[in-house]
Structure 1
């Protein structure tokens, strides 16, 4: 478990941590919400890196619940860890898939040498998951996962999400 776990309201693209997590879609080619914001802020190099992953190791895209890292290009962090959350609107309602986004991201962060990581509220936006449920799953995944990450920060873009994550904080 990380030494420091916090939640803040903010813009994940401005976080000065080793790695930020992108709530990506399986194509890895950008989208809306957090995904679009990260791609815009990182610049065209991020899309090129994602296209290269699709051309080589992830020809069919990144599966739901999995994570992969790229360089961060114009972002203040060193890496972007792309994690594909489950889409409740598409019938992906298994909480273990959402939990996996957080634990696999931590695993990838450890593998690449990151010591600090920032997460968004994966699947709480257009993928239709309830903010309270995402917050509980995220906190449980991060606090029960053995990793060598020192700092975990949940960076939430709205007061509603921040409140959900603060309320879900374990005692």
Structure 2
């Protein structure tokens, strides 16, 4: 689906994300990096990710910041790190010195969707934007709790669900 939308995909099970991003940018790294998942990022098998899971299991920290660390390492100097992903607790081992030395700009906080909702809905209604390519399931509202489980557990190819009244 991502490729169909024009994105370059990287499978972290098959290759190093950091190496691939460096290759794609002639060794410079991306100008902008986004962590839209936050503490729920758990699938990667990197040493950092395993370390984070162990610390979380023994209650030494509450979030898993391995994506933040990877962003700092790969982003080009004077780049921007955006973090709309949710980090609700405590994290440590973030290389802020590396971030400072690269002159990275951090932008973070909750996404204020209400700022964009009216404009986006108008564009959808006018046919300027077609979000249907991400909708994988359409079900009655009563099936919402079951579909949430399907989405959470990444079952049945579930990406986005539309609930019908």
TM-score under structure 1 normalisation? 0.33
Q: Which has the higher strand share?
A: 1
TM-score under structure 2 normalisation? 0.34
